[in-house]
Structure 1
Amino acid sequence: MRRIVCREFGPVDRLQLVEEPDPVPGSGEVVVAVEAAAVAFVDGLIVQGRYQVRPPLPHTPGSAVAGRVRAVGADVDTVSVGDPVVVLSMGGGGFATDLVAPAWAVSPLPDGVPPAVAATAVESYSTLTFALSRRVRVRPGEWVLVLGAGGGIGLAAVDVARAAGARIVAAASTEAKRDAAHAAGAELTVDYTDLKDRVREVTGGGADVVVDPVGGPAAEAALRSLTAYGRFCVVGFAGGEIPRLPANVVLLRNRTVVGVDWGDWARTEPEAASALVSDVLGRVARGELRPPEPGCLPLDGAAEALTRLGRRDVVGKLALVP
C-alpha cells in the first residue's frame, strides 16, 4: 500500500509518500481500498500542528474516504468483500490506497453516488445536517446566512438549508464563490462589505440563523445581523482568527450562540452518528441533497491540495484519487 505520512508537525510540503506492506484487518475491522479521499481544511491544520488535537506521529491525514471493501476481520458481518462503502475515520488515515477502520465506522455507499462525491460530501453534509437539525432546528421559510459559502462546508450549509425549506443568503469573498453558492441554492449572495446592514436589508429584518465556518471579523457583523431569537452556529475558523463575540449582542433580542462539533458527537455517540451518515448518503442518492463534483488530484498531490485550501482559493471541495 501507499500512504501520505506526516512525521513532524510543520509545513504541508514536508509530507511524504511512502510504501508499506498491505494492512491486515484485526477482529472487528475492515480494510477498504480507497477510491477517493476527501481533503479538508482541518487536515492542513493538523499537519501544521495548529489544530486543538494533535494526533500521535507519524500521522496520515484524511478522515473521509469512499472505496470498496478489500478484507474483513473476524466478527464482522455488516459488510462483505467488494462492497462499495464510505468511511468516516476520526483518527485519520484516509490519504492512502488502503484504510483500516472499525466496522462501525463503515457505511454502505448507495448506487449512483460517485466515490469522489461521497467522500467529499459525507463529513461536511453530516456536520451541517447535525448543525441544522440537532444543534438548531431550521424551519421552512426562515432566512439562513451562510458565511464562507463558496467553500466545501459553506456549500453544504447552503444545500442542507435549501433542502430544509429555508431561504439562504450566501456570503463569499469572490464572484466565483458566490456563483457556486447561488447554483447550490442560495436565493441571494453578498460580499462582506457592510454585512450586517446588507443582510438586514435583503431579508427584510435580519437572518434567523447564521452558519459560520470562517470566524474572523465577519462573525460579529453576522451576529448583529440576526433578528430576534436568532441562532448563531459556530462551525469553525477557516479564516484563522477566532472571534470574540460580544455577550451584550447575544443578550439583545434573545439571541443564541451554539457550538457545532460533529467530530466530538460522532466519537461519543457512534451509533447515532452512523445512522445520520447513512441518512445523508441516502438523501444524496435520492437527489434530495445535491453535492457538487469535487476537483480531483492524485495521492502525491496531497501537499498541493492542502496548500490551495489553506490559501482559500478553492471553490467547493478537493479529493485525492489514489
Structure 2
Amino acid sequence: MKAAVLKSFGFPLAVEEVPEPVLGTGEVIVDVVATRVLSYSNEVFSGERKYALDLPVIPGAGGVGRVRAIGPDATKLSVGDWVLCDPTVRSRDDAIAPDIHLQGVSARGEGGMRLQKYFHHGSFAERMRVPTENVTRLGELSEAEATQWSVLGTMLVPYGGFLAARLQPGETVLVSGATGNFGSAAVAVALAMGAACVVAPGRNEKMLAELVRRYGARVRPVKLTGNENDDRELMKRTAPGPIDCALDIMPPSVATTVVRAAIMTVRPNGRVVLMGGVNMQGGPGLELPYNWIMRECVTIHGVWMYPRDAAARLIALVRAGLLKLEEYETTAFDLDHANEAVEHAAANGGAFKLTVIRP
C-alpha cells in the first residue's frame, strides 16, 4: 500500500510503498478515506516539538474510513462500516492508570513507547491498523462527507476537557485560546453541550467578531490588553455572571501570565481545565496561588485527550444537529502531496480551518 513515511526529523515525508498492516485479535483494519493534518505537524516532523516518536513512522492522528477487516472480538462492527479512528491508544492491562500513546503522533513515558512500537503507524496511509475499542461507527456517509467528519478529531480534545469538568447546561464558560484552531472548536463544543455563555478572550479582533457572528450573543468576546491583572478583571466583567469553568488550550508559545489571568477568573467552587502546551518547550512553569486555590475551593483538572466513550457521545451531538461540522473550511490533498498538506496546515491553522489528506 502507499503511505507517507517520516524517516528522519527535519526531512520531508517520503511517499512510498510499504507493507500492508496485518490483522490481529483485538484489532481492526480500516481503509483511510480522510485524515486531518494537525496545524503543528511541521513542528513535530522537524523535531522542534521533541515528541517521542520511534522512527521511521507513518504519521497521522486518526481519521475517517471504512472497515476492511475485523477481529473475533468485534460484535457490532461490519466490513464496510464508516468509522472514526481515535488515535488515543491505551494499554489494556491497567484500567485505572493505563499507559497512553497517540498513534502516529507521540508517546507518554516508557509504557507509551512500548505501545507505540506495536500500534506504531498512523493514518497517512491507504490503510491502518487500530485497536478495536478505538473505532466508532459513524452511520451512513458519502465519500465527500468523510472530509468534513475528520474535524471530529479536533473537537474531541476540548470535549474531553469539558467532560472532565462536568460542564452543565446553563453554565458560563471561559475558553482561553478561543481564537485558535482547538480553542474555536472548544467554543463550538461548549455551546453544543448547553453552555449559556462562552467568554472568548483573545487579541485577534477579526476572529473574535467572527465568533460572535457565528454564535450570537452567547459568545462574549474580550480583547486582551497584555496586562495580567487588567485582563483578568476585564474577562470577569464581560461575563454575564460568575464564571463556572475555564478551559485553557493555549499553544506552547503563549506566556504563562496570559494563561493565569484566564484561569483565575473562575468563581468560588469553580473548575479549571488545563489542556494547552504551556511550558512544553521549556521556560517558566505556570504558578498559581496556593491560598487562592484552597480558599476559593477551586478544582483544577489536568486533561490529556478524552475518555474512550467520548467519540460516540460527540457523534451523537453532531447527528442531533447541535454541533455543525459545515462550520469548517476544508482543504484536501491526496497522499502524493502529503508534504504540501503539512505546509498548508501550518499556514492555515487558525479557527475553523481544516487541512485533510485523502489517501
**Structure 1 contact 69–82 (Cα < 8 Å) conserved:** yes
Secondary structure of the 2:29 match is: strand
TM-score where L is the length of structure 1? 0.83
Does residue 230 (structure 1) correspond to residue 270 (structure 2)? The answer is yes
Instruction: Determine the structure 2 residue equivalent to 1:260.
Output: 303
Structure 1 residues 62 and 138, CA gap change in structure 2 (3 angstroms):
same
Preserved CA contact (<8 Å) 2:222 2:238: no
Maintained 8 Å contact 2:169/2:193: yes
SS in 1 for 2:150: helix
Give the direction of change, closer, same or farther, for the CA distance of 1:50–1:83 in structure 2 (3 Å limit). same
Q: CA deviation at 1:239?
A: 9.4
Counterparts of 1:6-155 in structure 2 under 5 Å? 6-10=6-10, 14-41=12-39, 43-51=41-49, 53-73=51-71, 76-89=74-87, 90-92=102-104, 93-111=122-140, 114-121=145-152, 123-133=153-163, 135-155=164-184
CA contact (8 A) 2:84 2:135 kept: yes
Structure 1: gaps of 5 or more residues: 267-272
Partners of 2:248 and 2:299 lie apart in 1 by 13
Residues 46, 54 of structure 1: 8 Å contact kept: no
State the Cα deviation string for residues 1-34 of structure 1 (Å, max 9, x = none).
Answer: 2222111233xx6222222244342333322111
Counterparts of 2:311 and 2:349, CA distance in 1? 28
Indicate conservation of the 8 Å contact 2:147/2:332, yes or no.
Answer: no
Q: Which amino acid aligns with 1:189?
A: P
Code of the residue aligned with 1:178 in structure 2: it is L
Please say which of residues 308-317 and 158-167 is displaced more in the overlay.
308-317
Structure 2 partner of 1:192: 224
**Equivalent-residue separation in structure 2 for 1:19 and 1:51 (angstroms):** 28
Say if 2:252 is the partner of 1:210. Answer: no
How far apart in 2 are the matches of 1:294 and 1:64? 19
**Structure 1 residues 159, 204: closer, same or farther in 2, change over 3 A?**
closer
Aligned 1:295-310 pairs, distance under 5 A: 295-298=330-333, 299-307=335-343, 309-310=345-346
Secondary structure at the aligned position of 1:111 is classed as coil
- Matching of residue 164 in structure 1 with residue 193 in structure 2: yes
Superposed CA deviations along residues 180-205 of structure 1, whole A, max 9, x for unmatched, are 43325652122322531221221156
Distance 2:355 2:202 in 1: 18
Deviation at 1:67, TM superposition (A): 1.3
TM-score norm. by structure 2 comes to 0.75
Percent identity at matched positions? 28
Cα deviation, 1:251-299, whole Å, max 9, x if unaligned, reads 4533332201126xx5xxxxxx0x3211211221121222333422313
